[in-house]
C-alpha cells in the first residue's frame, strides 16, 4: 500500500486493485499504476465534510470513461451539491455504514463537522479522522473545551469497541499546532487506545516544522517508530 501526502488532510492510498483519495482540495495528484492485468484501478474518493480545506468540487473532475469511480461523502456535503453531481454519490452520516463489493465503510462522529471514516478494503483497515479531534482552544469557554474532551474521548472509545482488538494498518490524525499546548491531547489519546501499524499526522497546512516539534514530547516515545510525517513528494510504502 503506497501512501502519498497531497496537502493538509489530503492523502492518496494505492493498493493492488484500488485507489483511495481522502479530502483532496488542493495539490497535484501522484501518478497511479494500472492493475497487473492492465485495467484501471477502482477509484474510491472520500470527503469527510464540507469545509473548504477538506472538500472541493474538483473531485468530480476525476470521473473517467472506463474507470469505476465511487464517491463516499459525509452527509453535510449533500446540500451543497447540484443533482448533476450528487446523483451517483454515497452520503454517510455518523453511525451509518456502506458496503460495496470489496469495500466496507463506517462513519463515525466528528467533534467539528461531518464524519470520520473507517475503511476496509483488500484486507486493509484504514482510519481517516477528518476533523474528529479534541479541539481545546485557549480562550474559548471552558464548557466548550470540556465538551470537546468528553465527546472526543467517548467517540474514540466507541471506535475502539468497534475494532474489537483489531490493529489498523494506518490512521490519519489531526495534529494542529494552532492548539499550542493542547495539540497532542487528541492525538495521544488515540494512540493510547487504538493499535495501528502507522500513525500519520495531518491538518497542519504548511506548519510542518511546528507540527514535527511535538515529536520531542516524551509522552510520544512509545510510538515514535510508528509516527510518520510525510513529505508532499514522498511515497510511503506500507508493506
The more confidently predicted of residues 205 and 232 is: 205
- pLDDT, residue 71, reads 97
- pLDDT, residue 233, reads 60
For 144-185, write each residue's pLDDT tens digit.
Answer: 999 999 999 999 999 999 999 999 999 999 999 999 999 999
For 72-82, write each residue's pLDDT tens digit.
Answer: 999 999 988 99
- pLDDT, residue 118, reads 98
Domains of the chain: 2-237 (3.60.15.10)
- pLDDT, residue 239, reads 75
- pLDDT, residue 231, reads 82
Residue 89 has pLDDT above 80, yes or no: yes
For 97-156, write each residue's pLDDT tens digit.
Answer: 999 999 999 999 999 999 999 999 999 999 999 999 999 999 999 999 999 999 999 999
Rounded to 5 degrees, what angle do the CA atoms 165, 11, 210 make?
90
From residue 228, give the alpha-carbon distance in Å to each of 28, 41, 123, 173.
21, 26, 21, 11
The contacts of residue 51 (CB under 8 Å, 6+ apart) are 112, 113, 114, 131
- pLDDT, residue 114, reads 98
Q: What gap in Å lies between CA 122 and CA 101, rounded to an integer? A: 11
The contacts of residue 148 (CB under 8 Å, 6+ apart) are 111, 134, 135, 136
Instruction: Specify the long-range contacts of residues 96-101, CB closer than 8 Å, at least 24 apart.
Output: 98/72, 100/70
Calculate mean pLDDT across residues 177-197. 98
Residue 235 has pLDDT above 90, yes or no: no
Q: What is the mean pLDDT of the chain?
A: 95
- pLDDT, residue 93, reads 98
Calculate mean pLDDT across residues 219-225. 98
Amino acid at each position: 500500500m503506497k501512501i502519498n501526502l497531497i496537502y493538509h488532510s489530503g492523502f492518496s492510498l494505492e493498493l493492488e486493485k484500488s485507489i483511495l483519495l481522502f479530502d483532496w482540495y488542493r495539490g497535484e495528484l501522484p501518478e497511479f499504476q494500472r492493475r497487473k492485468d492492465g485495467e484501471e484501478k477502482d477509484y474510491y474518493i472520500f470527503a469527510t465534510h464540507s469545509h473548504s480545506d477538506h472538500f472541493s468540487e474538483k473531485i468530480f473532475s476525476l470521473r473517467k470513461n472506463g474507470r469505476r469511480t465511487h464517491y463516499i461523502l459525509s452527509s453535510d456535503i449533500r446540500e451543497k451539491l447540484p443533482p448533476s453531481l450528487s446523483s451517483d454519490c454515497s452520503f454517510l452520516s455518523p453511525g451509518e455504514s456502506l458496503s460495496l463489493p470489496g469495500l466496507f465503510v463506517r462513519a463515525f462522529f466528528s467533534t467539528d463537522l461531518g464524519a470520520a471514516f473507517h475503511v476496509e478494503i483488500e484486507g486493509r483497515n484504514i482510519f481517516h479522522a477528518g476533523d474528529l479531534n479534541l479541539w481545546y482552544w485557549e480562550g474559548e469557554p471552558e464548557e466548550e473545551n470540556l465538551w470537546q474532551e468528553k465527546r472526543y474521548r467517548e467517540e474514540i472509545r466507541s471506535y475502539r469497541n468497534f475494532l474489537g482488538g483489531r490493529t489498523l494498518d494506518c490512521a490519519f490524525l489531526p495534529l494542529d499546532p494552532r492548539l499550542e499546548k493542547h495539540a497532542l491531547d487528541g492525538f495521544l489519546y488515540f494512540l493510547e487506545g487504538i493499535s495501528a501499524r502507522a500513525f500519520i499526522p495531518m491538518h497542519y497546512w504548511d506548519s510542518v516544522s511546528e507540527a514535527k516539534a511535538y515529536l520531542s514530547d516524551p509522552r510520544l516515545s512509545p510510538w515514535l517508530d510508528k509516527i510518520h510525517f510525510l513529505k508532499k513528494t514522498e511515497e510511503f510504502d506500507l508493506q
